Amino acid sequence: MVEKYQFLGVEAIIASLRMRELFQQVRKAAQSSSSILLLGESGTGKEIIARAIHHDSVRKMKPFVDLSCAALPKELVESELSGHERGAFSGANATRHGLFELAHEGSLFLDDIGALDPKLQAKLLRVLDTGMFFRLGAVKQTRADIRIIAASDRPLIQSVRNGIFRQDLYERIGQITLTIPPLRERAEDIEALANHFLAQQNPELRFASDAIMALYSYHWPGNVRELRNTVFRSSLAAKGPLLHADDILFRLRTLQSPENQAEARGVEGLEQTMIRRALEDSGGHRQRTAESLGISRTSLSRKIRSYGLSVKTELHRRPA
Ligand SMILES: Nc1ncnc2c1ncn2[C@@H]1O[C@H](COP(=O)(O)OP(=O)(O)O)[C@@H](O)[C@H]1O
Ligand SMILES: [Mg+2]
């Protein structure tokens, strides 16, 4: 049985027993007022679940605001979250509301929480404890009643043990922890998700049974995100209405071994591989891709053009 949930412009497909059980926990957690920590490998659906939580909560009519703590340098994360007063630094010509304020009475989704700088960890803890914070350059505090939904690809407890993440903040945001299983541990979801993504991309296409077998036998290290990208990529190359196993374009067939490719094609080959991977990892988001590669957005775009990397950004569109 395949269930579909629609909320906030997102459609979640749930077929496996494990995900059905998880969604029961999600709904229960959503009703409570406490912070929630979502753990799971990249691409398992943490963001989609964060949206589901907001949508099922009493805060649903208020904003859902999200920020990846890993996508920006720490100074920018701070000003994104806190906003600033006019004149707080050169170039601050007007007061700017940060995400703490924008998420007031709503939910703030902090992705990659483990990357949060220690100073900001302290600031976040204060917001949670007191409901108050300072905009950059402010002498007066501003109120922010927010629910934190945090996510991490890696077990946050390890960062606590390594002294990188504050224990008290961990206890605070991890009051409820939900772990999303990798796709390979819930194979029943594979077919339902694949059919869903294929229908989204091109309703004329179908998977032949050998294609479904091929999808089942793959281990999906990039989880649902990789499945989605694989289905979209394969559907674009489809030679007819029925997709066979041969038509499934798994990423690893071309990208598994960047070293070998680099040997074959030199430094440029490696660069291409890195760009394609980074694009996949960021879901096609060029700004984030450029940041993760440490190059400017302009230079990323130039490289994409010059290598003729056909990046179908519309395929990676983030849910609204
Ligand atoms: N159960 C699901 N049903 C439909 N799409 C899903 C599901 N889980 C994940 N996705 C899709 O897979 C991609 C990755 O999900 P995301 O929530 O961003 O993962 P994470 O935050 O764990 O990296 C997104 O495009 C998302 O919409
Ligand atoms: Mg994510």
Distance 233 CA to ligand 1 centre (A): 17
CA distances from 197 to 13, 17, 192, 232 (A): 10, 20, 9, 7
Q: Transcribe 101-146 into DSSP letters.
A: HHTTTSEEEEETGGG--HHHHHHHHHHHHHSEEEPBT-SSEEE---
The tally of CA atoms less than 13 A away on the side-chain side of residue 32 is: 12
pLDDT of residue 156: 95
Percent of the chain clearing pLDDT 90 (strictly above): 69
Q: Is the minimum distance from the CB of 116 to ligand 1 under 6 angstroms?
A: no
Q: What are phi and psi of 47, to 5 degrees?
A: -70, -40
Four-CA torsion 155, 215, 320, 131, nearest 10 degrees = -10
Q: Is the pLDDT of residue 260 over 70?
A: no
Strand segments, DSSP code E, in the chain are 3-7, 10-14, 36-39, 64-68, 83-84, 96-97, 107-111, 132-134, 141-143, 147-152, 176-179, 206-207, 242-243
pLDDT in tens, 264-274: 456 677 778 78
**CA 43–ligand 1 middle distance (angstroms):** 6
| CB 186 near ligand 1, within 6 Å | no
* 284 alpha carbon, closest ligand: 1
Average pLDDT over residues 184-197: 96
pLDDT tens profile 86-118 = 988 888 889 999 999 999 999 999 999 999 999
Ligand with the closest atom to the CA of 112: 2
Ligand 1 centroid distance, CA of 226 (Å): 9
Closest ligand 1 atom, residue 10 Cα: 27
Percent of the residues in the chain that have a pLDDT greater than 70, as a whole number: 90
Task: Pick from 210-224, 252-266, 302-316 the range whose average pLDDT is largest.
Answer: 210-224
Residue 286 makes CB contacts below 8 A (sequence gap 6+) with 279, 297, 300, 301, 313
Q: 225 CB under 6 A from ligand 1? A: yes
- Cα–Cα distance between 138 and 82 in angstroms, integer? 10
Tokens of 70: 């890993």
Q: Is 135 exposed, middle or buried (0-12, 13-18, 19+ CB in 10 A)?
A: buried
Q: Which domains does the chain have, with CATH numbers?
A: 3-179 (3.40.50.300), 183-253 (1.10.8.60), 257-316 (1.10.10)
Mean pLDDT value across residues 294-315: 72
Which of these, 222, 221, 214, lies nearest to 247 by C-alpha position? 214
Question: Ligand 2 centroid vs 115 CA: distance in angstroms?
Answer: 13
Distance from the alpha carbon of residue 140 to the mean position of ligand 1, in angstroms: 40
Confidence of residue 25 (pLDDT cuts 50, 70, 90): very high
Q: How far apart are CA 5 and CA 3, in angstroms?
A: 7
Ligand nearest to the CA of 46: 1
